[in-house]
Amino acid sequence: MPSITSPSGHFPTLCSCTKLVDGQALYDVKFYPYPTTDDEPIFAVTGSSHLFICRPKLDADPPFEVLRWFQLESGEHSFNSLAWARDPVSGEPLICVAGEKPKQIQIFNVESGKHVRSLVGHGAAINDLAISPISSSLLASASADYTIRLWNLDPAYKDQPCVAIFAGEGHRQHVLTAQFHPNGKWIVTAGLDTAIAVWAVPSIDALAQHRAHRDGSHPAPLTVYYPHFHSTEVHANYIDTAVFYGDLILSRSAKGQSEDLARTTTKVKIVPNEILLWKIDGFDSDDDPPTGPPIPTPSVWTRSSFPHDPRSRGFQRLMTFDLPNTSRFYLRFGLLHEPGVRPILAMGNEESRFLFWDLQKLEEGYDPNEESGANLKAPGVKAPRQRKKGKAAEARQQVNEGNLGRLGELRRGEIVGGGAGSDVGYGRTPDPSLTTPTTSASNVPPERKFDLGDSFMPLKPHHSVLASTTLSPKKHFAMAQIAWSPDGGRWMVGVGDYGMMCVFYRSVEREAGRE
């Protein structure tokens, strides 16, 4: 096991790369988001017919132990997504899993190892699961039936657990991702139709009207027909990941290799695979949803009910992240974004390499006390070349950099504050050094280590790691999902092709108290 020394003090070190199962891909990994009795993180991994519950161990080889292995019938189960929940009565940890088969959400009690229940309703494969940050009983699911469903695991909803369906004027093809805003009031979704949408989550009172009545009748789930934001202009390819970064959005798009090759032979320009950081004009997550969602109009590719200039598209592209060798879709990035912790974006490509971006460094910009290019000397990653710009380009860059220097403000201080009322995650004392001061164009340094003037220029990773394995150099693997532990990101786990699991660790100073 290598010595644990984080490069540049922020990025994790690869501890092990292990084939957890043989011959089957792993698709999802998530850490238990709630406090544990011994304060140690637990994570779950799923893929095909396998479901593992694991604990990372720093002084072990390999640096993890399997606590429970749910061995299911391979012909009847094909899982690709999971989410943690808690039993509303006992508080015991529950693991929710779903996928192509069966077209149901299966829920297991982790402590007893028993199957608890199945949630039936989707008419096709389920592609993503997410638990609400304000209630460990509210579960969202994204499906190939073009809908997103909201489920309540509370016993009061036992006879009718589906409380809301987001459908109608939303997605026209498979929905690949659904994630809550940290305050639980919004859901961002995206899919194969290249559309990305933001929906208002109905209030608890509105959802309560759709539980079983005393007379035994079961009202239909609440149907949400219109998202408050919908666009097919943000990305040109399939969107397999979308998460809130405060009030900004990080989303990734890609298209399969075979389709890229077919498009090449017909001499059609291939749209690059990318992760974008962007914002919806006028969106404030703390505001009540606008009274009227936007109605679809012919030849309008973006519709938004949030205040914006009617001459604009209603959103702004802020950054593009460089993603070499990531042509496949359904490869998901991992975002570390907790109070008091430097935000880090991590992505695995198809050549066994992990790419990292220090998002706080992008907000801080150029540090004259740092050695030039020190963070960019990872294998295979070249530092961007400084170019001499004309006066018009310099003025444009100065304005853009002034805007990007206010990312902390745009994210509404989420680095040092969590969602109100959240019962998820570990409480941490905010680190004053991580606050981002508001910067104006007049005080932006004349040079930056990272060229942020052009939102379409891909930003090279600040650090990368090649996962060395016994696989042939010509037989690399891709990471389907990356997860960070909720204790400040001490651990990072990635899972993917050939049953591979990579475990990373980094030293993090932990505060004495917890909320």
Q: Quick check: is 349 in a domain?
A: yes
Q: Quick check: is 69 in a domain?
A: no
Same domain? 29 vs 13 = yes
Total number of domains in the chain? 2
510-515's contacts with Cβ under 8 Å and 24+ in sequence apart are 511/340, 511/428, 511/429, 513/427, 513/429, 514/35, 514/426, 514/427, 514/428, 515/427, 515/428
Q: Quick check: is 63 in a domain?
A: no
**Amino acid occupying residue 154:** D
pLDDT in tens, 175-198: 999 999 999 999 999 999 999 999
Q: What pLDDT is recorded for position 311?
A: 85
Same domain? 96 vs 16 = no
Kindly state the percentage of the chain with pLDDT values over 90: 53
pLDDT in tens, 25-81: 999 999 999 988 888 999 999 998 899 999 999 888 889 999 999 877 766 788 999
**467 contacts 353 by C-beta, under 8 angstroms:** yes
pLDDT in tens, 296-331: 888 789 999 999 998 888 999 999 998 888 888 889
Which of the two residues, 416 and 148, has the higher pLDDT score?
148
Asked which of 322, 346, 376 is the last residue of a domain, the reply is: 322
Same domain? 272 vs 370 = no
The predicted model gives 429-438 an average pLDDT of 36
Q: Quick check: is 122 in a domain?
A: yes
- Count of other CB atoms within 10 angstroms of residue 289: 17
Enclosing domain of residue 5: 1-43+330-515
What 8-state DSSP symbol labels residue 48? B
**160 contacts 218 by C-beta, under 8 angstroms:** yes
**345 contacts 462 by C-beta, under 8 angstroms:** no
Same domain? 285 vs 361 = no
CATH of residue 236's domain is 2.130.10.10
Asked which of 282, 306, 322 is the last residue of a domain, the reply is: 322
Same domain? 109 vs 171 = yes
